Structure 1
Amino acid sequence: MNKIQPAKWLAVTMMMASVLAACSKAPGDTASSAKPNTSSPPAGTASAQPAPTGKYDPPIVVTDIRPYDDNTKFAPGDSSDNNLWSKKYEEKLGIKIKYLWTLQGPIDQYYQKLNVAIASNDLADIVTVNAQQLKQLAEAGQIADLTSVFDKYATPFVKKTMNEDGGTALKSATFGGKLLAIPRIGSDIDEVPMLWVRTDWLKKLNLPEPKTMADVLAISEAFTNKNPDGDGKADTFGLALSKDLNGGFPGFEGFLNGYHAYYNVWLKDASGKLVNSNIQPEMKTALGELQKLYKAKQIDKEFGTKDGAKIAEMVTSGKIGMYYGLYWTPAWPLQDGKNLDPNMEWHAYPLPSVDGKPSDAQVPFSVAQYYVVRKNAEHPEAAVKMLNLWMEESFNSPPSQEKPDPRQEGIETFKHAIIAGEPITKNMGVYTHVAAALKAKDPSSLTPVELGVYNDIMAYEKGDNKKWFNENIYGLDGSFKIIDYYVKNNLIRRSEFFGSPTQAMGEKGSTLDTLLKETFTKIIMGAASIDEFDKFVEDWKKLGGDQITKEVNEWKTKQ
């Protein structure tokens, strides 16, 4: 997926503080005879159960293996063994963390080192793994069954949060009816594409707002040929596309969705069988339309060599009129363009459709990491208790009245937690609360993060152009209004397959992805006819697609 460059993304997340509280990890459990405190049950109830948030007394020691990303930093005097979250685990849960090892750097390096530990069964009580490693550990019987532990110890809020996606994330960690890992959940609804349009150009050319794909095509033609920037040169493009094709900025998923085509999604056919979206007839139709746009010079002829950063430069310099992208794009790259040209205006729209049927907006599966517990660990429930602490403190508690530690200023302390995740509705909640405060003109009930967004919007309305991005993300008519529309109208398209990668996916996936990108790019650029899509389908099936489809449907029968 096309992504913001690391430095840019860090800047974006710093601007959007509400996003920062959402990525982390938390520690596990190890041998000790200590038991959690129990709480007295109300009169007339069954005997007390160990409290989900209770403290071990005496404390226990939990070992852990985990990654840190390149940008993880600790406050002066702190370390992986001594930081804000390690102290919370000990003070609030009676859990002392002992790391067998950690690795800071590219995540692939961590997974490679972890593969050696898995092969030698040299595991900690809690380990952060990817989907393939989870499957391997499950098949080898090396990890604990957390089914009853999660049911007994997870707080009601955690259970609710972990099931907000219909239970898909938990199902992805379930093998043979047993929950074998805690998925690190994320907000998949934040990944829905929407259409972004330069509305100052719309007004200048007296064009209607886009409601159908016919409108999109007409706007693209006008933005290319009717001199919207007023410089008298044929140097503007109606639609942005990058060499990666898919991604948060710019991505072709939203355009495909307008034709009821989907990128890398597994769908149910009429018989209930799962089929791959990349080889369906709707994809051929959508690619044919992109080919026409390219031939008409409405897409940059050099898009096949330009990444998202290069396309961002074209957007900020006023050469692009539309793109499909995610909610955060006002922060990057649009704010940079607004800084250069205060008259530049962009607006987000729900995905226009080619027919009367509303377009579903596709989302990727949001779980990439899992937390497993070593088989025979004495306190498997410790992992769930640590998840409770993260979720309850991060998302289900009133704002802390404690004075912030000045040593932690500028430190992303959320990265120090061992087990983490975020509710699907985290950022949506910011929008909902800020929108209510904007309507009532009363921010008194907002959290500090929400108040920061509210103040940014107020500052923009008073003339501070550098706060434009938050107005266009969390404002009353911002991008989260579009996400809210998708959710309320059931227009989110999730993949029907959410299991661990099948064997054929591991063996053939990269080959098929390369085949897709090369073929689709050639078709769009006119280097291959649209009928080349039919040969792509045949090749895709022969080179592993049929085997993957077989394995995916075998997985489905076990659900």
Structure 2
Amino acid sequence: MKSMKHVLLLSLMTMVVFTSACGNSDSNSNSNSNESTGANANGTAAGNQSNGAADDVVDINAKYDPPITVTAIRDQDPSMAFKEGEDFENNNWTKAYADELGITLKYDWIAPSDQYYEKLNVAIASGDIPDIMKVNGAQLKQLVDADLIADLTDVYDKYASELTKKSIEMGPLAKASATFNGKLMAIPPDEGSYEGGLSLMYIRADWLKKLNLEVPKTWAELEKVMDAFVNQDPDGNGKKDTFGMGLTKDLYKNGVAEATGVFNAFGAQPYTWVQQADGTIGYGGIQPEVREALLKLQDMKNKGLIDREFGVKDSGKVGEDYANNRIGINFGALWNPLWPLQDSVTKNANADWVVLPGISATDKPVQYTGALEFNEYMVASKKMEHPEALIKLLNTSQEKLYGGQADPKVFHTEIVGDKEYGHFKENVMMVKGSDPIGNYGHYKKVIGALDSKDATALNPEEKGYYDKILAFQGGDRTTWGTVRVFGTESAYSVLDGIYQNKEQNINFTKFYGSKTKTMAEKMATLDKMQKEVFTKIILGSPIDDFDKFVADWKKLGGDQITQEVSEWAAQQSK
């Protein structure tokens, strides 16, 4: 499911919203910087030292002369498609690496996405690793402990462009997760991704109107709306075939039809690390608030407010239920209007969904789950002759996607006839920073343009959103999803309110490091046990099973993981 979520966040946003020009940030964001990596900036310098400069001053844009070869490995998304004559080693990205950097890219092997990390484990065990590669948190720690990867501290400081640093250092935690004993050992993912995981509430506005219901403001009112959606035939087909709230077998962390909104309503954070009353860090999934949320979910299932068959439905199946007028409330990520809710609107002429903040079921405000999961990194082998090449590749990645020389059709997404080519997937930098302005920044600029009716300050990506919103206003319902993500009454307008008091409204995980030793060994098993127990309780098992789960979780490795997390926290506070 994690890989599915990754594909949705990239390919769906690309397919539905970014088609016109995704990947291009503010065209002025880096165009005046001498550090930007591009054809005009590079030239053919023979080496990396600036002529006549001090030893510690480097030309980060210098092209290798003679050229160098960088070996890599990668995973392959099953949805990838190449234009005729192109492949992983022959595409727009590899041509840019060669022409502008003097880097020839060679892949030692390519594996399907669902087999990549397993194959990489074998390579790490044998010590046979390429110059650069993507690793997960557990593998990063393993490589650091085995002294197999390069310390990137100095090359990052010297070679990272201004755009790269702005992206990687959007917040302090991402870099910290890749730092061991004061040394930067990997390129981390960006820190802005948590906003895409906040669980917002979506309600069928046309059903509310048909049943003469107000937008709910309390949990009791929300349950009344759910009951009406089940028992008052909101779709008008004369059958009792609708449910109040969508839910998938994954329960949470997949972004669609989640139970996260219900957990948050009861003050629960089911999969992150929280600060406990005594000031220590504890795992959110074993806290008493989770017990209360599970009781409520069980009650909702018993009343028929959620589909009793949720335990066998993935997000695709629940998405079909949305499109087929079977569900009226969804807790999910900010991109849900693009999918699956767009399908609902496209298929049903009157369908409309309103985006709302979460609702509390207690006397305390809702705290959204802020999951900062840093679990993908790019590393360089300790044997690599030119570790700075990793940073130069990263600079190029950022410039081609978000800088002043960005060309979305060449480096992000190209539409040829009815065929879509996601060129961003061909980038060797599978872990990279994001646009420093972020989608929230794009939203603010689009709203400003809508208010002023002046789009001249928008970059191509933002202009794409703007045009789609105007198209919807002109009657094109296929662009509804863009309106509900970036428009005036949208997911980002709800997030705008949340961000006014971010620290109070979002419960950020208190652990953001790479996986601890025991976490790497046992957390997957504990997570599986947790979902199995939670699902059974929702379906009707006694709530005492939660108490047994807590005891088992602690005994089967949870206590040791908690101790390791506490030790990590102590190191961070030094």
Normalised by the length of structure 2, the TM-score is 0.87
Q: Quote the residue 2:31 is aligned against.
A: none
Match of 1:434 in 2: 446
Q: Identity over the aligned pairs, expressed in percent?
A: 41
Q: How does 1:337-352 map to 2 (within 5 A)?
A: 337-352=344-359
Stretches of structure 2 that go unaligned for 5 or more consecutive residues are 25-36, 38-44
| Deviates most, 393-402 or 453-462 | 393-402
Give me the whole-angstrom Cα distance separating, in 2, the residues matched to 1:37 and 1:89: 19
| Amino acid corresponding to residue 459 of structure 1 in structure 2 | A
Counterpart in the other structure of 2:528: 514
2:89 equivalent in structure 1: 81
- Which of 542, 549, 552 aligns to 1:529? It is 542
| Distance in structure 1 (CA, Å) of the matches to 2:23 and 2:412 | 17
Measure, in 2, the Cα distance between the counterparts of 1:347 and 1:477: 8
- Tell whether 2:377 aligns with 1:370: yes
In the TM superposition, residue 144 of structure 1 has moved relative to its aligned partner by 0.8
1:235 is paired with a residue whose SS is coil
> Residues 324 and 476 from structure 1, CA distance in 2 versus in 1: closer, same or farther, beyond 3 angstroms?
same
Change (3 A) 1:450 1:245: same
Report whether the alignment pairs 1:476 with 2:488: yes
Measured after TM superposition, the shift of residue 499 of structure 1 is 2.3
Check if 1:235 corresponds to 2:241: yes
Aligned to 2:336: 329
Distance in structure 1 (CA, Å) of the matches to 2:358 and 2:413: 45
Amino acid at match of 2:241: D
Match of 1:460 among 446, 459, 472: 472
- SS of the residue 1:251 aligns to: coil
| 2:47 alignment partner in structure 1 | 35
Q: Which residue of 2 aligns with 1:417?
A: 427
Q: After the TM superposition, which residues 385-424 of structure 1 pair with which residues of structure 2 at under 5 Å, given as runs?
A: 385-397=392-404, 400=407, 409=416, 410-419=420-429, 420-423=432-435
Q: Secondary structure at the match of 2:244?
A: coil
Structure 1 unaligned segments of length 5 or more: list them.
27-32
Cα distance, 1:305 vs. partner? 2.2
Q: Match for residue 549 of structure 1? A: 562
* Residue equivalent to 2:297: 290
Q: How far apart, in 2, do the equivalents of 1:291 and 1:364 lie?
A: 25
- Contact persistence 1:39–1:50 (CA under 8 A): no
Question: For residues 471 and 125 of structure 1, do their structure 2 counterparts lie closer, same or farther at Cα, with a shift above 3 Å needed?
Answer: same
Q: For 1:277, which of 272, 284, 288 is the aligned residue?
A: 284
Alpha carbons 1:191, 1:363 under 8 Å: kept: yes
Alignment deviations for residues 208-231 of structure 1 (CA, whole Å, 9 cap, x no partner): 223332332222222223332334
Shift of 1:278: 0.6
Partner letter of residue 512 of structure 1?
Answer: L
Please report how far the alpha carbon of residue 4 of structure 1 lies from its aligned counterpart in structure 2 after TM superposition: 6.5
Alpha-carbon distance between aligned partners in 2 of 1:322 and 1:479, rounded to the nearest angstrom: 15
Amino acid at match of 2:388: E
CA contact (8 A) 2:373 2:512 kept: no
Whether contact under 8 Å (2:22, 2:408) holds in the other structure is no
1:547 alignment partner AA: Q
**Whole-angstrom distance in 2 between the partners of 1:537 and 1:110:** 33
Cα distance between partner residues in 2 of 1:497 and 1:344: 41
Alpha-carbon deviations, 1:388-424, whole Å to 9, x = none? 1211332132655999999984322212221233247
Partner Cα separation in structure 2 for residue 405 and residue 476 of structure 1: 27
* Structure 1 pair 228–39 and aligned structure 2 pair: CA distance change class (3 A): farther
Confirm or deny that 1:56 pairs with 2:61.
no
1:260–1:359 contact (8 Å) kept in structure 2: yes
Q: What is the aligned counterpart of 1:194 among 194, 200, 210?
A: 200
Q: Deviations over 1:230-259 (max 9, x none)?
A: 344332211111222112111111221121
CA contact (8 A) 1:183 1:371 kept: yes
**1:199–1:406 distance in 2 versus 1, CA, 3 Å:** closer
Q: Compared with structure 1, are the counterparts of its residues 62 and 433 closer, same or farther at alpha carbon in structure 2 (3 Å cutoff)?
A: same
Q: 2-side partners of 1:92 and 1:507: how far apart?
A: 42
Aligned AA for 1:530?
I
Alignment of 1:135 with 2:141, yes or no, is yes
> Is the 8 Å Cα contact of residues 22 and 461 (structure 2) preserved in structure 1?
no
Alpha carbons of structure 1 residues 255 and 543: separation in structure 2 relative to 1, 3 Å: same
Q: Which residue of 1 aligns with 2:309?
A: 302
Amino acid at match of 2:211: L
Is the CA contact 1:144–1:374 (under 8 Å) kept in the aligned structure 2?
Answer: yes
